[in-house]
Chains A and B, each alone.
Chain A
C-alpha cells in the first residue's frame, strides 16, 4: 500500500530555511497522475494547505506562503521536498505530506513537529 514518511529537523532558528523530505513507498511519484502535497497544523489549530506538485513537477502554492515556499520532486529517491524560507515563530507547526489523485488528500504521512525557536 502507499505509505509516506516525513523527515527533517525538529528545531530551526528564526530567519533560517526549513527543508523537509517526504519519502514515498508503494507507488512511483512520477506515475499515475498523483499530486504530492504539504499541509501544516499549528499546535491546537486547524489545517493549512501549503501547496502541491504534480507528478510532472508542476507546482501550485498557497498565496499566503508563495513567496517563501518551494515544493519539488526528487524522483531518483522517490521523494518530494518542502523548502520554506525566512522562518518565524508563526511557522511552528506539525508538517504533513500527503498524496493522491487530484482533488483529495488520500494518503498521509504521520507528520513531523517543527519548532522555530532561537
Chain B
C-alpha cells in the first residue's frame, strides 16, 4: 500500500494566517492527490482534486500544488470556518489511502 504522511499533525493558527500543510507519498503518485476538509461530526468535503484543481464552489483561498511524492495544501487567509481537520488521499492505485490528517486549531 502507498503510505501518505502528512505534516504537521496539528497546528495552531489565527484568522488571517497563511497555513501550509504538506503530504508526502511513499512512492510517486503523479498528480493523483486529493485534499479533503472534515469538521467535527460531518462527512469529509472534497476541496482539491488532481493535486491542484479547485473543486467548483470551494473558496479561492484554498490551493494545492505538487506532483510525484510531495504535495502541499495552502490556505491563503484562514477564516473561522476553516478550523477543521484536513486529509490528503492518493487515488493513483488501489487501495486508495489517506494521510492521518492535520488538525487546524485556534
Contact = CB atoms under 8 A, between A and B. Distances in A.
Interface residues of A, number: 20
B87 A105 contact: no
A110 B44 CA distance: 9
Interface size band for B: 20 to 34
B63 interface: no
Contacts of A46: 87, 98-101
Contacts, number: 55
- Main SS of chain B's interface residues? loop
A102 B98 CA distance: 16
A103 B96 CA distance: 9
B106 interface: no
B87 A104 contact: no
B91 A104 contact: yes
